[in-house]
């Protein structure tokens, strides 16, 4: 009886099967001389200030509209480097695979990682594979770490200046909403897809245009609310945002209405927030829109000296309220 090839415990045993998996799947996709040298550690050539980051990825489902766990694992780590104005160069990659995981799915995910790597030019130079017995993991977990060369220093959450403009690179909440739809099997007719993407090409364009930003952060878990609150606290400034200026697509708005969520709290995986002097904000928007495929990039607010540590959302009808950090797990409202 023909059966689908799946990951066996032996694929993590350090023997022939593991060697075959590494060569046929990982080396094939991530091919580069540092990796395939197969030394105990990768030999790197770097100088100057280096940014170093790590992240683990556990998403359910593994495949979603607009991406998969592999794309997420590359984009996530590359973006963490990009947000420090660091050119992503070398990544490590560790897989924890559940016994019985389809080999075809693993290959698809690894190829997706390779495609995403090409957007920034970063390379996977070392890695690790573990296979755990069935039931000990939810399909597949990936950890990626990355290093990159910092091109301009002083970008920091503590570096916001009063009167800085706050820019968001595109419409918010897509990733969280797409995962929610995929996870709950919502049978809504929707073309909603995740924003999951590598941000380095946009950042590279901004740096090339000599845009000097004070802070950047990708609005991942916790969404826009989390980034702005973290910044307000870290820099001890207030942030005012105009609700009407924040780009949100109709599908995300609709889903939030249905579940009682706020789009500001939903995760993004290819959307970033930037603080920079107001007098260069429009120039930054133009660069982002023209070269970065950020058609909806917008100035959404301004840093202020009042209410330090707090984010205030101005409604379109003249009232205002705090935009607080999201709390606890996101659960749908009851009625």
Partner 1 sequence: MMTLNDFYQGFRDPQTIGHLATLIAQQAAKTNQQINIMEVCGGHTHTIMKYGLLQLLPTNIRFIHGPGCPVCVMPKERIDHAATLASQADTILVTLGDMIRVPGSMGSLAQFRSRGCDIRPIYDPLDTLVIAQDNPHKTVIFFAIGFETSAPMTAALLAQAEALHIDNLLFHINHVLVPPAIDAVMSDSRAQVNAFIGPAHVSVISGSKIYQSTVDKYQTPVVVSGFEPVDVMESILRIVTQKVAGKAELDNQYSRSVSYEGNLAAQQLVDKYFMVRDSFRWRGLGPIAKSALTLRPEYHHRDAERIYAKILPTAEIDDHKACMCGDILRGLANPKECKVFGRGCSPQTPLGSCMVSSEGACNAYYRYGEVINAN
Q: Which is nearer to partner 1, 40 or 189 (CB)?
A: 189
Q: From the CB of 135, what's the least distance to partner 1, in Å?
A: 14
Specify which residues 217 forms β-bridges with: 273
> How many other CB atoms are there within 10 angstroms of residue 95's CB atom?
25
Q: From the CB of 301, what's the least distance to partner 1, in Å?
A: 12
**328 contributes a contact to partner 1 by CB under 8 A:** yes
Give the interface segment with partner 1, choosing from 112-120, 129-137, 144-152, 322-330 (CB under 8 A).
Answer: 322-330
Q: Which is nearer to partner 1, 248 or 284 (CB)?
A: 248
Angle at 115 between CA 33 and CA 194, to 5 degrees: 145
Q: From the CB of 332, what's the least distance to partner 1, in Å?
A: 4
Biggest alpha carbon–alpha carbon distance for the chain: 71
Q: Which is nearer to partner 1, 10 or 304 (CB)?
A: 304
| 61: preceding bond cis by omega (within 30 degrees) | yes
DSSP 254-323: HHHHHHT--GGGS--SS-EEEEE-GGGHHHHHHHHHHHS--TT-EEEEEEESSSTT-EEEEPTTS-EEE-
Straight-line distance from the first to the last Cα atom of the chain, in angstroms, rounded to the nearest whole number: 50
Pick from 1, 41, 47, 335: which binds partner 1 (CB under 8 A)?
335
For strands 238-242 and 311-314, give the pairing.
Answer: parallel
Pick from 82, 157, 216, 312: which binds partner 1 (CB under 8 A)?
312
Give the interface segment with partner 1, choosing from 52-60, 142-150, 204-212, 317-325 (CB under 8 A).
Answer: 317-325
Q: From the CB of 330, what's the least distance to partner 1, in Å?
A: 10
Half-sphere exposure of 270 (CA within 13 A, CB side): 25
Please report which helix (H) or strand (E) contains residue 150, including its range: strand 140-150
**242 contributes a contact to partner 1 by CB under 8 A:** no
- Per-residue binding letters, 178-197, with partner 1 (x by CB under 8 A): ------x---x---------
Place of tokens 């017995």: 133
> 246-265: which residues touch partner 1 (CB under 8 A)?
250, 253-255, 257-260
Q: From the CB of 230, what's the least distance to partner 1, in Å?
A: 16
Name the site residues for partner 1 (rule: CB under 8 A): 184, 188, 240, 244, 250, 253-255, 257-260, 304, 306-307, 312, 314-322, 324, 327-329, 331-335
């Amino acid at each position: 009886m023909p059966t689908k090839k799946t990951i066996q415990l032996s694929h993590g045993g350090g023997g022939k099967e593991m060697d075959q998996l590494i060569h046929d799947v990982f080396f094939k996709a991530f091919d580069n001389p540092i990796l395939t040298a197969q030394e105990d550690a990768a030999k790197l050539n770097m100088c100057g200030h280096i940014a170093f980051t790590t992240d683990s990825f556990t998403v359910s489902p593994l495949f979603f509209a607009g991406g998969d766990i592999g794309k997420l694992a590359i984009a996530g780590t590359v973006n963490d480097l990009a947000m420090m104005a660091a050119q992503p160069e070398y990544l490590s990659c560790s897989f924890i695979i559940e016994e019985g995981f389809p080999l075809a799915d693993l290959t698809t995910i690894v190829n997706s990682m390779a495609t995403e790597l090409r957007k920034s030019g970063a390379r996977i130079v070392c890695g690790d594979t573990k296979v755990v017995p069935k039931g000990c993991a939810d399909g597949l977990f990936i950890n990626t770490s990355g290093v990159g060369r910092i091109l301009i220093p002083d970008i920091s959450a503590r570096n916001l200046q009063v009167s800085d403009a706050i820019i968001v690179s595109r419409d918010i909440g897509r990733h969280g909403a797409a995962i929610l739809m995929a996870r709950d099997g919502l049978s809504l007719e929707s073309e909603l897809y995740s924003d999951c993407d590598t941000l380095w090409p946009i950042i590279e364009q901004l740096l090339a245009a000599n845009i000097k930003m004070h802070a950047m952060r990708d609005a991942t878990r916790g969404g826009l609310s989390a980034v702005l609150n973290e910044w307000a606290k870290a820099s001890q400034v207030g942030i005012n945002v105009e609700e009407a200026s924040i780009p949100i697509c109709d599908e995300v708005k609709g889903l939030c209405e249905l579940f009682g969520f706020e789009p500001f709290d939903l995760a993004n995986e290819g959307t970033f927030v930037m603080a920079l002097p107001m007098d260069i904000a429009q120039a930054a928007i133009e660069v982002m829109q023209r070269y970065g495929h950020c058609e909806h990039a917008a100035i959404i607010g301004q840093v202020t000296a009042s209410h330090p540590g707090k984010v205030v959302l101005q409604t379109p009808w003249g009232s205002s309220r705090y935009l607080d950090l999201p709390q606890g797990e996101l659960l749908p409202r009851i009625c």
